[in-house]
Amino acid sequence: MSGVAPLGEPFAKFDELLAAANAVPRSVLPEPTAFSFGTVSAEGQPSVRTLLLKHADERGFVFYTNYESRKGRDLLGNARAAMCFHWQALERQVRIEGIVSPVTHEEADAYFASRVRSSQIGAWASLQSRPIGAPGDLASRVKEMEARFTGKEVPRPPHWSGFRLSPQRMEFWRSMPSRLHERLAYVRDGDRWRTETLYP
C-alpha cells in the first residue's frame, strides 16, 4: 500500500516519538537520544556504533565527532550513512538512511561551547580511534591539554565538528503481536515523500 506525504510529516512523527522517549523515566530508558549509526569505509567495510543525537529538524539529524576518527574518515570518504533509534520501552523503532554533510562552523562552535569543560579537554586529548601506545598516554595527554588551556576558554579543535544526515528514507516500526509488526516507510521523492506500508 503506497501514497504520498508532505515533507514535514515524517519529521513530525519522529519528534512525537522522541518526546515520548524523553518522557520515559531514565531508570528505564537512560539515553533516549541514543541511536546506532552505520558507515561504510572506502574498502566497503561496514561499521556500526552508538551515538547521541544533538539536534533534529527538517534539514536532518545532527551529531558530532572527531573528523579523524574511524566514522569521520568513513563519512568524509563516503557520505552515505544510516541510523536506527530503538526505544524498547515504547516498542518503537525509526530507521533513517541518507546523505551526510558537515554542519557549519557556527553550529559546531556553539555546540562545543555548550559542552562541559572536561569534555572539551577530552576532544583535544583523544586521538580518537587510534591505538594507545602505552598505558597512561591518554591521561598524560589530558594533563597536557589541561595545562595548555589553564585560565582560558577551550576552543573547538579544528578536527572536531558535526555532521547532518539528510534523510532519503525513513521507516517507522511498531511492535505488534505474533511479530506482525507495523512498518511505514517514507521515501524522498522531490519535494514530498512517497509512503509505503511494508510487510513485517
**What residues act catalytically?**
179
Asked if 115 contacts 64 with a C-beta cutoff of 8 angstroms, the reply is no
In the chain, count of helices (H) and strands (E)? 5, 10
Half-sphere exposure of 1 (CA within 13 A, CB side): 5
Helix axes 137-148, 117-125, angle to 10 degrees: 120
Neighbours of 17 (CB within 10 A): 19
CB-CB contact of 93 with 87 (8 Å): yes
| Enclosing H/E stretch for 93 | strand 92-102
Distance CA 179, CA 52 (A): 28
Nearest to 83 by CA among 105, 99, 66: 99
Whole-angstrom distance, CA of residue 16 vs CA of residue 23: 11
